[in-house]
Amino acid sequence: MVPTNYYLLLSAILFGLGIVAFVFKRNIITIFMAIELMLNAVNLAFVAFSQALGKPDGEVFVLFVIIVAAAEAAVGLGIIILTARNRRSLNVENVNLLKL
């Protein structure tokens, strides 16, 4: 029997690490992966609450979050490929013009 607070603490740590990766990495794909890490941390919190309250509603929400993350990854990576081809680099510091 693991206390629910342990899971919530782990979720907070992973979310914080995701924010750190999002702010401090400069490769656009790594930043995108940090977003996925944050989504995973939130999923963990959802399932922890679902187990604590005894209702399966949280797990259904996790399924929706996973589906939305998949759709977002597909479109986001398409945009990244186009931007990278245009700018010829994957460094976000190079995407600093308002017009491509």
Partner 1 sequence: MSAQVVIFFVLALIAVFGAVSLIVQRHPIHSALSLILVMVALAGLYLLMGAEFVAAVQIIVYGGAIMVLFIFVIMLLNAGVEERTNLSRLAFYAGIPLAVAVTALIAAAIVGSKAATALPAAAPDTLTSTRTLSMLLFTEFVYPFELTSFLILVAILGAIVLAQREN
Contact present, 7 and 48 (Cβ < 8 Å): yes
Whole-number Å distance between alpha carbons of 35 and 18: 7
Which CB sits closer to partner 1, 30 or 95?
Answer: 30
Output the smallest distance, CB 97 to partner 1, in A: 18
Which CB sits closer to partner 1, 7 or 95?
Answer: 7
Residue 86 phi, psi dihedral angles, 5° rounding: -75, -45
Output the smallest distance, CB 12 to partner 1, in A: 4
Which CB sits closer to partner 1, 67 or 99?
Answer: 67
Distances in whole angstroms, Cα of residue 85 to Cα of each of 25, 43, 78, 82: 20, 33, 11, 5
Whole-number Å distance between alpha carbons of 59 and 43: 9
Output the smallest distance, CB 11 to partner 1, in A: 7
Output the smallest distance, CB 95 to partner 1, in A: 14
